[in-house]
């Protein structure tokens, strides 16, 4: 199952533009509020330095792609309908939202950092909107959905605790598992809100809201994307966002710049590796005036001030820093670094920090895990036991009675 990232935020913040720039899909974008009506998923990539150079071999990637020494590993991103204040009361949106939230491992919360959206979600002059308030409003919407769901399940939770061996944390996790809440999240939220010992039927409104607020935070790790960084006022608002939301990572982005570059790259007009801090025009004679102007604008406004569009950086930060994933390269032959078909370094897996050889075996195939004996480290040739904790960039061969993977 690939890692999933959901894109949330106020209407017109640029979510779909970012989504298109990551996936090269063409979902509808417009300057009208509420353009996106239903969630749409696509494939984006995270990028890491491939190990093939270190081993001095040429690779034949299968589950990923290698370009200029960079490994591109697929992840799933989902674009969501926009929100404004009060949206949680609407019926349809709420359910769609929770369904996607349930499936997301992390969220991008997109904010129009240039402040060019008014409170109703309409585009106005840059600098007149309030990105700090926009962020807070959407977060509140999200929490209110949690509150609504939680409140409607209080009697069920209470019953589970009374009539079975469920602890309060077990019961809450059971009831909210549909939105991706795990027991460890509930334990954290109960303890941080000082509610571990209090009968759930006696929680007051403020306690419920506080609990849900913490639960939202711990169960859905989130990065703020300060978008539209190419526009005026964005730099000031980016600083303000950083100062106001100190506990969160804020990444400056320009979805529109990334989209222009990725599409020009796809057409062969420029050479651009996402995440790199430059691009090169390959066919200047084939560019029309508008394309030339767009590229010059990007060079001046995006690469000049922020060094990159931020889009690839945000994806990488989400997966490697927020979700703490490591890259692991399983091979069948630890000397030749090949799979059974002789392909060199075919696959790379994203495994959470703390995962073991056994976890990796299980991720690749359940049979492999059943007959697991040990793994061989391709760098040292040493045997690694089933409980060996994987490290980033490990290249290893799993040895199992079931088969050699
Ligand atoms: N200058 C600038 N404009 C952008 C950027 N990203 C998006 N826009 C513009 O902002 C407007 C809204 O973009 P969308 O991608 O449709 O926004 P959305 O958040 O998906 O909107 P909804 O689907 O309505 O919630 C469009 O006019 C985009 O062209 C950016 O990085 N810079
Ligand atoms: Mg949209």
166 has a pLDDT exceeding 70: yes
Atom of ligand 1 nearest to the CA of 83: 25
Which residues of the chain are in CATH 1.10.8.470 domains? 4-39+80-244
347 has a pLDDT exceeding 60: yes
Instruction: Give the mean model confidence (pLDDT) for residues 196-218.
Output: 95
113: closest CA among 224, 12, 227?
227
Tell me if the domain spanning 4-39+80-244 has CATH number 1.20.1370.10: no
Q: Output the pLDDT for position 87.
A: 67
Buried b (16+ CB within 10 A) or exposed e, 222-234: bbbbbbbbbbebb
Distance of CA 139 to the CA centre of its chain: 17
Place of tokens 């370094």: 345
Instruction: Give the mean model confidence (pLDDT) for residues 311-321.
Output: 97
Report in angstroms the alpha-carbon separations of 202 from 137, 143, 154, 199, 277.
28, 20, 10, 6, 55
Please tell me the number of the ligand nearest to residue 12's CA. Answer: 1
The Cα–Cα gap between 289 and 268 comes to 17
242-289 pLDDT per residue, tens: 999 999 999 999 999 999 999 999 999 999 988 888 899 999 999 999
Q: Can you state the angle between helices 131-151 and 91-103, rounded to 10 degrees? A: 90
128-141 pLDDT per residue, tens: 999 999 999 999 98
Instruction: Give the mean model confidence (pLDDT) for residues 377-388.
Output: 97
Cβ atoms 233, 115 nearer than 8 A: yes
Q: Is 57 left (phi over 0), alpha (psi -120 to 50) or beta?
A: beta
Instruction: Give the mean model confidence (pLDDT) for residues 338-360.
Output: 97
The Cα–Cα gap between 143 and 182 comes to 17
Q: Which of 69-78, 177-186, 331-340 comes out lowest in average pLDDT?
A: 177-186
Q: Output the pLDDT for position 303.
A: 86
Q: Output the pLDDT for position 19.
A: 98
- Estimate the share of the chain in helix, then strand, then coil, as percent rounded to the nearest 5: 40, 20, 35
363-381 pLDDT per residue, tens: 999 889 999 999 999 999 9
- Rounded to the nearest whole angstrom, what is the distance from the C-alpha of residue 368 to the centroid of ligand 2? 42
Closest residue by Cα to atom 2, ligand 1, is 228
3-state secondary structure of 54: helix
84 has a pLDDT exceeding 90: no
Q: Is the CB of 227 under 6 A from ligand 1?
A: yes
What's the pLDDT band for 88 if we cut at 50, 70, 90?
low
3-state secondary structure of 224: strand
Structure tokens given for 200: 């759930």
- Rounded to the nearest whole angstrom, what is the distance from the C-alpha of residue 11 to the centroid of ligand 1? 8
Place of tokens 């056994």: 358
Mean of all residue pLDDT scores within the chain: 93
Structure tokens given for 1: 């199952």
Which residues of the chain are in CATH 3.10.20.30 domains? 327-400
Tell me if the domain spanning 327-400 has CATH number 3.10.20.30: yes
In sequence order, what are the beta bridge partners of 231?
Answer: none
89 has a pLDDT exceeding 70: no
Q: Is the CB of 294 under 6 A from ligand 1?
A: no
- Rounded to the nearest whole angstrom, what is the distance from the C-alpha of residue 14 to the centroid of ligand 1? 3
């Amino acid at each position: 199952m690939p890692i999933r990232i959901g894109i949330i935020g106020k209407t017109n913040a640029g979510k779909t533009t970012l989504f298109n720039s990551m996936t090269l899909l063409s979902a509808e974008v417009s300057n009208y509020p509420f353009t996106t009506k239903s969630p749409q998923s696509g494939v984006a990539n995270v990028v890491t330095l491939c190990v093939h150079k270190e081993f001095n071999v040429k690779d034949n990637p299968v589950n990923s792609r290698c370009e200029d020494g960079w490994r591109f590993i697929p992840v799933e991103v989902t674009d969501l309908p926009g929100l404004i204040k009060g949206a949680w009361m609407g019926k349809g949106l709420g359910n769609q939202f929770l369904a996607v939230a349930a499936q997301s491992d992390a969220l991008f919360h997109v904010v129009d950092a240039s402040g060019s959206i008014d409170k109703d979600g309409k585009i106005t002059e840059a600098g007149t909107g309030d990105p700090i308030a926009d962020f807070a409003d959407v977060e509140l919407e999200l929490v209110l959905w949690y509150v609504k769901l939680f409140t409607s399940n209080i009697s069920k939770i209470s019953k589970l605790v009374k009539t079975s061996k469920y602890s309060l944390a077990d019961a809450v996790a059971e009831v909210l598992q549909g939105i991706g809440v795990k027991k460890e999240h509930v334990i954290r939220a109960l303890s941080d809100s000082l509610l571990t010992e209090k009968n759930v039927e006696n929680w007051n409104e403020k306690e419920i809201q506080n609990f849900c607020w913490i639960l939202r935070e711990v169960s859905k790790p989130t990065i703020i994307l300060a978008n539209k960084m190419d526009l005026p006022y964005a730099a000031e608002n980016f600083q303000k966002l950083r100062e106001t939301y100190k506990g969160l990572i804020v990444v400056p982005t320009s979805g529109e710049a990334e989209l222009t570059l990725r599409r020009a790259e796809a057409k062969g007009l420029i050479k651009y590796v996402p995440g790199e801090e430059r691009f090169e025009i390959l066919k200047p004679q084939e560019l029309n005036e508008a394309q030339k102007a767009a590229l010059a604008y990007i060079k001046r406004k995006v690469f000049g001030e922020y060094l990159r569009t931020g889009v690839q950086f945000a994806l990488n930060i989400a997966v490697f820093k927020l979700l703490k994933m490591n890259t692991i390269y399983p091979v069948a032959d630890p000397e030749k670094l090949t799979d059974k078909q002789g392909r060199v370094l075919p696959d790379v897996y994203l495994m959470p920090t703390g995962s073991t050889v056994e976890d990796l075996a299980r991720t690749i195939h359940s049979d492999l895990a059943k007959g697991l004996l040990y793994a061989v480290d391709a760098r040292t040739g040493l045997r690694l036991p089933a409980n060996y904790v994987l490290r980033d960039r490990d290249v290893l061969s799993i040895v199992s009675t079931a088969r050699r993977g």
